[in-house]
Structure 1
Amino acid sequence: MINNSTKILLLSTLMGGMLISISSNSWLGAWIGLEINLLSLIPLMSTNKNMYTTESSMKYFIVQALASSTLLFLIISKSMIEELYMVSDNYLSSVIINTPLLLKSGAAPFHWWFPSIMEGLSWNNCFILMTIQKIAPLMLISYLMIMNSFMWMIILMSIIIGAIGGLNQISIRKILTYSSINHMGWMLTAMIIGENMWIMYFLVYSMLILTIIMIVNSHRISFINQTFLMSNEMSTMKFLMFTTLLSLGGLPPFVGFLPKWIIMQFMIINEMNFIISLMVVMSLMTLYYYLRMCYASFMILSNEPKWNVQFYSNKIIPMVMILSSMSMFGLILCTLMTSIF
């Protein structure tokens, strides 16, 4: 929650760094934007209330500094060979420039830092890390997106590791982390279709993540077994949370299925049948651990303790209901609009 001028300043510079990075016409300018973005987030991550945040912010700084220094080295090396900061669209350039950007965005197999850092952050910082911090690296990756064997390996590993990694987790933060890795694979695949496609996928994903984090943050939930105690008197909130989770998993009646549907149609038309079959099976595995949370929470009842709901939780109900309604009825509205126009 933004409650002082320092956080407002840091959030402004964080967004400014992201905008500098995606609007720059040179790779050096993009690097500068990524550094401003990184140095704005580190103070936001650290807090005296939780001893794990210092460890997470240090890990995050080391990993991102490694990726940034590697990117700067590669940019300078390429600019010495080619014309002023312009990287040609060939296989080698795509691989070497995309590698540090994939490390920054947390795609597999460069995901090793992501779960441990997420575990030590507050829910607000988790949202920033899963959504806002991915915008600049993904936009830069889309500039050099060439569908070669390297990118297909990244896509398949992200989808497989994101699905399998979340199966044995009890922490909701880690479940959402591995879900984010899985969605990274789908977003990279969406870049084949075009820039508008992956941006639409990212916006739908961000809306669903925001809805889930608003609910779990207001109820102070961090683990699956705590969902048993979640507002048994206010079952509407629990229902909204789990319909949003199912939408995030890509269940057809919900809007989370829409971008996956478009990607599946495109890949089937282009005869990429094996890859899309594997992606759909892995998405079903992610849906399994969402259903496990839903099933356990709805079937097991217990009393609700007084500390479970914060005093401001009633204020978020209208916002959560609006976002969840968009999740539940978005696919129907999109289909109707397509049929009419």
Structure 2
Amino acid sequence: MNPIMMSIIISSLALGTVITMSSTHWLMAWIGLEMNTLAIIPMIAKHHHPRATEATTKYFLVQATASATVLFSSSINAWSTGTWDIVQMTNPCACIMLTMALSMKLGLAPLHFWLPEVLQGASMKTALIITTWQKLAPMALFYLTHHSLNTTALLTMGLMSTMIGGWGGLNQTQTRKIMAYSSIAHLGWMATILTLSPNLMLLNLTLYLMMTLSTFMLLIFSSSKTIKDLTTSWTISPSTTTLMLLLLMSMAGLPPLTGFMPKWLILQDLTSHNLPTTATLMALSALLSLFFYLRLTYTTTLTMSPTTTQNKLKWRLQPKLKTTLLSMTALMSTMLLPVTPMLT
């Protein structure tokens, strides 16, 4: 793609998110969401391939439907209350519609079906943007309206998302689809805690963005699109392969690593709100995700030399990538658990 066009698209993407996050009027928030959607469409479609075109069409239809529903719910609220202010969302019908619309935008279950398909049709870098940057604007709207949203609906959707995110990833061989189901599961944890402790949701979102960014960058670095590609990633860089093991375990939420922090705090918060059944089900559903992360870890690092191919380099050329951002995010994605007391 032309560099000038690319810079315009990326700046529009950034501007759309900033407009939504900083607006107090529903129409401005809607305009930001639309800018966001329209900017990412050419990025998904830039590979002139039927799969990319299909992914673009799916993404456009889902996001357009969700944006229209956001506008409809805000219009109903304005009709009943006389205000377009985002924080004054008081109409129950409008609140339920808004929850559904933002869940569709994010890919929360049961409105998650588009996410794995779109990620599979997009390139690795575009998939990275969809799973990280594109979550910011809807999450900001969720955060602004959290006091008026229905807790039961969000708890149900959160629980469904963690279950489906775990089950869906079990039989996948494509790394982008696995990351999509991982995203659904992580969003489930965020949706569960949103109305009970919004600041905890922000902490979870920050750590999720950091871990997803570093994992995708490692996949791009080793050009691994399938699990089969991961088995030979040690030939590019053994140290990177070891880092991948730690990162995947952190995303699964195993104790000595950063990923355990949000799960620990969320389960603690759920039990303090007298929701032990929900907390137990969430903890059990995390085991499903843990299974496919362990499978990835096993194929990536535990099948290293001498049991795999003996040649020193992959048949591809080694990637010439700057690894400063990767090393910083990977370090934070694995080593931040000791700072937990400062954040509670």
- The superposition leaves residues 154-189 of structure 1 with CA deviations (integer Å, 9 ceiling, x where unpaired) of 111111111111111111111111110011111112
Distance 1:282 1:153, change over 3 A: same
Cα drift, residue 234 of structure 1 = 2.6
User: For residue 71 of structure 2, what is the aligned residue in structure 1?
Assistant: 72
Distance 1:245 1:309, change over 3 A: farther
Once the two structures are overlaid, the 10-residue window that deviates more, 291-300 or 161-170, is: 291-300
User: For residue 202 of structure 1, what is the aligned residue in structure 2?
Assistant: 205
CA contact (8 A) 2:54 2:121 kept: yes
Letter of the 1:105 counterpart: L
Distance 1:295 1:28, change over 3 A: same
> Counterparts of 1:125-164 in structure 2 under 5 Å?
125-145=126-146, 146-164=149-167
CA contact (8 A) 2:77 2:91 kept: no
Cα drift, residue 221 of structure 1 = 0.7
Once the two structures are overlaid, the 10-residue window that deviates more, 48-57 or 256-265, is: 48-57
1:63 aligns with 2:62: yes
Once the two structures are overlaid, the 10-residue window that deviates more, 3-12 or 271-280, is: 3-12
Report percent identity of matched pairs: 33
User: For residue 319 of structure 2, what is the aligned residue in structure 1?
Assistant: 311
TM-score normalised by length of structure 1: 0.91
Letter of the 2:207 counterpart: V
TM-score normalised by length of structure 2: 0.91
Cα drift, residue 335 of structure 1 = 4.8
Cα drift, residue 135 of structure 1 = 0.9
Aligned residues between the structures: 335
Q: 1:257 aligns with which of 257, 260, 264?
A: 260
User: For residue 325 of structure 1, what is the aligned residue in structure 2?
Assistant: 331
Cα drift, residue 309 of structure 1 = 4.9
- Secondary structure of the residue that 2:122 maps to in structure 1? coil
User: For residue 225 of structure 2, what is the aligned residue in structure 1?
Assistant: 222
User: For residue 22 of structure 2, what is the aligned residue in structure 1?
Assistant: 23
- Secondary structure of the residue that 2:257 maps to in structure 1? coil
**What are the ranges of 5 or more consecutive residues in structure 2 without an aligned counterpart?**
none
**What are the ranges of 5 or more consecutive residues in structure 1 without an aligned counterpart?**
none
- Secondary structure of the residue that 2:225 maps to in structure 1? coil
User: For residue 309 of structure 2, what is the aligned residue in structure 1?
Assistant: 302
- The superposition leaves residues 51-98 of structure 1 with CA deviations (integer Å, 9 ceiling, x where unpaired) of 422221121111111111222233223323320324543533321122
Distance 1:319 1:88, change over 3 A: closer
User: For residue 289 of structure 1, what is the aligned residue in structure 2?
Assistant: 292
- Secondary structure of the residue that 2:219 maps to in structure 1? helix
Letter of the 2:331 counterpart: S
- The superposition leaves residues 276-298 of structure 1 with CA deviations (integer Å, 9 ceiling, x where unpaired) of 11111111110111111111233
Cα drift, residue 336 of structure 1 = 7.5
CA contact (8 A) 1:229 1:308 kept: no
User: For residue 35 of structure 1, what is the aligned residue in structure 2?
Assistant: 34
Letter of the 1:126 counterpart: A
- The superposition leaves residues 90-117 of structure 1 with CA deviations (integer Å, 9 ceiling, x where unpaired) of 5333211221111111100000111111
Could you list the structure 1 runs, at least 4 aligned residues long, displaced by more than 6 angstroms after superposition.
Answer: none
Once the two structures are overlaid, the 10-residue window that deviates more, 228-237 or 46-55, is: 46-55
